[in-house]
Chains A and B, each alone.
Chain A
Amino acid sequence: MLEIKNVYKTFNAGTINEKRALNGLNLKLNEEDFVTVIGGNGAGKSTMLNMIAGVYPVDSGSIFVDGVDVTRLSEHKRAKYLGRVFQDPMMGTAADMWIEENLALASRRGQSRTLRWALNNQERKEFKVQLAELGLGLEDRLSTKVGLLSGGQRQALTLLMATLKRPKLLLLDEHTAALDPKTAETVLGLSDKFIEEEHLTAMMVTHNMRDAIAHGNRLIMMNDGKVILDISGEEKKKLTVEDLLQAFNKISGSEFANDRVLLSK
């Protein structure tokens, strides 16, 4: 479903701030894989997701989504294949627009925007049903500005928007990191639910090792812009946080020096 071949990306090349973010990255995702991605700060997790989404171009290498070479496609053209939820709850929705307007925009992802009416009553009815599934009472607030919602509500809405039109690949970039633990739990639960019910292929970056172990069928660990560990199936089910830390130390030859990761075990 997704294939990343030998992708390199260096930021600020040739300056004192030069940062090699992706260093010959290779990764292949199968249909209906739900991969959790962990790694220290600067390991290249978010860069990988941004490269897939086309936020900035790769230096070299290629990216295929569902067999299509998207390496040179602009961000808005790739959106056809991708559903995305960001770390910042403000980023995935248009604050000044209503809930139903945001949903209508998302339901036309990948289609050209015509001079037809932006949404109709049939869609409103469908949106109500879909919002009700979130269990947050948003179904009665179709004409509420999204800016008035809480971070958790906005993130849940973004998740719904990302999957409203079935994406070939769902990209979750630390989408619960900015939420309080209880809300994070709710949004994670919804993510699981959507991915399972719709049989989606998904990638979820997280700083929380427990979440990375508890969710998905496959786990990859990144370091220095490469995948250094790739565990799936039965092996992943038996995984513990200690196993991950040990594996990291062994492979990278250094301590997993990241407070956020250690604290969240």
Chain B
Amino acid sequence: MITFLSSMPGAVAQGIIWGIMAMGVYLTYKILDVADLTVDGTFGTGGAVLVVCVTSGMNIALAMVCAFLAGCLAGFVTGILHTQFGIPAILAGILTQLALYSVNLRVMGGSANMPLTVTKYTLLVSLRDIKMTILIGAIFVFIIIGILYWFFGTELGHSLRATGCNESMARANGINTNMNKVIGIVISNGIVGLSGALLAQYQGFSDVNMGRGAIVIGLAAVIIGQVAFGKIFKNFAMRLLSAVLGGVIYYIVITLVLRMGLNANDLKMFSALVVAVFLALPYWKRKRDEKKIKPVKEEA
């Protein structure tokens, strides 16, 4: 129990970093109504770009900007594949994700991982200072929520929401739905790139596989957040926050099951199961409600 409690801050820190990624997933999955699988690659790209930038002597803030832009670029590719090449969104994301594996290797000069020593460089977050990580992570969360809250309150942001909600209506009202999808996927992947950059600093290295299964973790965070806070958080900003909190809950649960003896190798299977169950719950609930319909009683 003591070891579990002592591992709590680490779980929260990691949860916040992945929660930032979950906000990116929220944009595509909830607002654009597209499951964008690019993020598995983009997360690693963010990490790789940051490590390469920092180790080559770049300022950490600038390196973060580069990671963000690299993520945006990856999203742009998926957006173009989807809207200009006519490839279904899921497949477009898978194609970009696959290509990014090679890209990420190239970025890291051909090696599968690259160290980033906190003692040598000035970093924003690190395993060595978990309190700081939580604080910096929280600041990132609030800044991103603030910007997104503003953006989705603008004319362009509104038109993005309409695009995800009803394309026919959007086009009938003069909204360029293709352009909006690209914009949405770009912003989403930019945020994912940022969170990948944060995780690379936190763990002290970037790895070509660090984004594997990111979409599942992102979805888990979004869904857990929705189940846990959906009833109380109605406001858009609070919904984004609930995705982040979902990420934190997810990592606390993961830490717990690992302490209870789950083999770390089985973690991905566990994640997939959690997401499958949470995605199925609303469907099962509806099925159960349908069964409850009683036949009309014959009047005597």
Contact = CB atoms under 8 A, between A and B. Distances in A.
Contact of B158 (A75, A84, A101): A101
A113 B153 contact: no
A106 B173 CA distance: 6
A56 to B, nearest CB: 12
A96 interface: yes
Contact of B157 (A53, A86, A93, A118): A118
Nearest to A162: B172
B162 interface: yes
Contacts of A118: 153-155, 157-158
B166 A105 contact: no
Contacts of A97: 158, 161-162, 165
Given A94-B166, A118-B153, A113 B172 contact: no
The 10 closest A-B pairs by CB, nearest first: A79-B174, A94-B165, A118-B158, A113-B155, A113-B156, A113-B159, A109-B174, A75-B171, A94-B162, A115-B154
Contacts of A95: 165-166
Given A76-B174, A76-B177, A105 B159 contact: yes
A92 interface: yes
Interface in A55-99: 75-77, 79-80, 82, 84, 86, 90-97
B155 A77 contact: no
Nearest to A85: B172
- Residue picked from B161, B169, B170, most chain A C-beta under 10 Å: B169
Contact of B154 (A84, A96, A114): A114
Contacts of B172: 53, 75, 79, 82, 84, 86, 92
Interface string B146-184: 000001011111110110011011111111110000000
Nearest to B156: A113
Interface of A: 53, 75-77, 79-80, 82, 84, 86, 90-97, 101, 104-106, 108-111, 113-118, 161
Contacts of B158: 97, 101, 104-105, 113, 118
Contacts of A53: 172
Contacts of A115: 151, 154-156
A101 B176 CA distance: 17
Contacts of B175: 76, 79, 105, 113
A96 B174 contact: no
Contacts of B151: 115
A254 to B, nearest CB: 34
A108 B161 contact: no
12 contacts: A94-B161, A95-B165, A97-B165, A105-B170, A108-B174, A113-B155, A114-B154, A114-B155, A115-B155, A116-B154, A117-B153, A118-B155
Given A79-B175, A106-B173, 20 more contacts: A76-B175, A76-B176, A77-B174, A91-B168, A93-B169, A94-B165, A94-B166, A96-B161, A104-B158, A105-B170, A108-B173, A108-B174, A111-B174, A113-B155, A113-B159, A115-B154, A117-B153, A117-B155, A118-B153, A118-B155
Nearest to A107: B173
A91 B166 contact: yes
Contacts of B169: 91-94
A97 B158 CA distance: 9
Given A115-B154, A115-B156, A116-B155, A94 B174 contact: no
B168 A86 contact: yes
Contact of B156 (A76, A92, A109, A114): A114
Contacts of B154: 113-118
